[in-house]
Amino acid sequence: MRSSWRRVLVHVSESANVLVNLAKEEHFVRKLPASSDTLMLLLYRNDPAVVIGRNQNPWRECDLHHLAERSRQPATTTQLVRRRSGGGTVYHDRGNWNYALVIPRPAFSRAANAQLLVRAVRQYVGLQLERNDRHDLLWRGHKVGGSAYRLTGDWALHHGTLLLRADLAEMTRCLSPTRFGEQHRLQAKGTSSVRATVDNLVDVAETMRWQLPAFAMALARAAADVEGAPAAATPIEMISDAQLDATFVWREVAALSAAEWVLGETPPFRVHLGEVSVGTAPAELCLVCHGKGATVDALQWEEVEASARPFAGWMTHRWSQLPRPPRLDGAALANTLRAMMPAAPDRACRRALAGVAEQLARRIPSTEWVAQPHSPCSDADPTCLPDSSSYSPPAPLSPLLLERRVT
């Protein structure tokens, strides 16, 4: 059967910044002219990042304590990013290849897209992968690739990962929320990730040479050559950064990097902290995040001993009077409690506030690092996009600019 695509467009990103590459995906979804016979392929690698799905809770999906510790040194920073598609949480690093297929919405098929990846890997290196009913890519029963998708406007986005030489130990550490999400009985709405045993492809193919641009062309040819039809029958055209609307990309980078998006879009949830000490009396404390925003909107106390009930009642009332509840962040919660101390009715209440503040600061991970600006281009990646301040983009992906065929 011959491919129905009249045109296959390919962009291999030179950036390793996860924000830039997710922004490029959104660019193609939003800026490609409507077409029923064009397929867009984007391939890239990222520096270390944890990427959560559109409707996920980062406190449940990853070890924020560990990510906060890594953020203290620029050389070890692992970014936390929320993408616009659904699905589960994934870990990216330079040993992980990422692909995005932008497909006319009527032609979208998860099964067909997964089979395209299977065919491309077979044609490129001779490995016969399999796919399961979730359309994950498997090698000998171990997951080597997963995917997510999003339907919007005229286009469908299907993007995913392929594990080559990923740091699986670091992946396990980043995606194991045992220090908070499980330890504190976090109850959340939204999507939970499906855990699976993963493996690297190079562990089974050490001698094979994997090059991202070459694999991009193998994927393009697999799309243009469904069952033996000559690849030359379908034009394969390379898209450069100069053909992108840089202003759109920069704006999308800013939107994706904002704490209001990464943390603030978390669906409602509750954190059962368990026992905290109120002076010498134990009590059970639950932090309630009623709506989106990941702010602690209310406190709930359980199993409070008689001597601690006056303090628990006073603190709950004072919390309800806050003009702006703090975000679920250990330092922010502790500072909020310390700010209440001048209004405390007595010395015992002030001591209890100080004690609870210290416990929250220790037990709840910091998220201040998430809001720190991330430069879209690192020193090792200085030309990931043109400077938008002096850049006047052409008509986005005008067909007149796409006549360079790859042979």
Are 23 and 131 part of one and the same domain? Answer: yes
Rounded CA gap, 372 and 258, in Å?
8
Q: Please report, for the domain that includes residue 59, its CATH number.
A: 3.30.930.10
Q: Is 282 within a domain?
A: yes
Confidence at residue 396, expressed as pLDDT on a 0 to 100 scale: 37
Are 240 and 278 part of one and the same domain? Answer: no
Element (H, E) at 61: helix 58-61
Q: Is 1 within a domain?
A: no
Q: Is 406 within a domain?
A: no
Beta strands 236-238 and 281-289 are unpaired
| Res. 261: pLDDT tops 90 | yes
In the chain, the percentage of residues whose pLDDT exceeds 90 is 60
Arithmetic mean of pLDDT over the chain: 84
Choose the weakest-confidence range: 12-26, 83-97, 283-297, 324-338.
283-297
Selection from 285, 276, 250, 252 nearest residue 387 by Cα: 250
Q: Please report, for the domain that includes residue 286, its CATH number.
A: 3.30.390
Rounded CA gap, 201 and 403, in Å?
35
Beta strands in 268-336 (DSSP E): 269-278, 281-289, 298-302
> Do 108 and 213 touch, CB atoms closer than 8 A?
no
Greater confidence, 106 or 372? 106
Q: Is 70 within a domain?
A: yes
Give the pair of three-digit tokens for residue 74.
Answer: 């620029």
What distances in angstroms separate CA 248 from CA 38, 45, 111, 171, one per listed residue?
22, 21, 31, 31
Are 128 and 234 part of one and the same domain? Answer: yes
Expressed as residue numbers, the domain containing 278 is: 269-366
Choose the weakest-confidence range: 35-39, 296-300, 321-325.
35-39
The mean per-residue pLDDT over the stretch 240-244 comes to 92
Confidence at residue 194, expressed as pLDDT on a 0 to 100 scale: 67
Q: Is 237 within a domain?
A: yes
Rounded CA gap, 169 and 145, in Å?
17
Choose the weakest-confidence range: 138-147, 194-203, 384-393.
384-393
Are 24 and 171 part of one and the same domain? Answer: yes
Rounded CA gap, 67 and 77, in Å?
7
Q: Is 407 within a domain?
A: no
> Do 217 and 406 touch, CB atoms closer than 8 A?
yes
Selection from 77, 78, 74, 75 nearest residue 62 by Cα: 78
Q: Is 326 within a domain?
A: yes
Are 64 and 207 part of one and the same domain? Answer: yes
In the chain, the percentage of residues whose pLDDT exceeds 70 is 82
Rounded CA gap, 68 and 87, in Å?
24
pLDDT in tens, 159-209: 999 999 999 999 999 998 765 655 556 676 666 676 778 889 886 555 456
> Do 105 and 151 touch, CB atoms closer than 8 A?
yes
Are 237 and 309 part of one and the same domain? Answer: no
Are 111 and 171 part of one and the same domain? Answer: yes
Are 98 and 194 part of one and the same domain? Answer: yes
Are 276 and 378 part of one and the same domain? Answer: no
Are 232 and 146 part of one and the same domain? Answer: yes
Are 142 and 218 part of one and the same domain? Answer: yes
Confidence at residue 120, expressed as pLDDT on a 0 to 100 scale: 93
Q: Is 38 within a domain?
A: yes
The reported pTM is 0.86
Are 147 and 253 part of one and the same domain? Answer: yes
Selection from 22, 9, 8 nearest residue 384 by Cα: 22
* Neighbouring residues of 294: CB distance < 8 A, sequence distance ≥ 6: 263, 264, 266, 327, 328
Q: Structurally, how many domains does the chain consist of?
A: 2
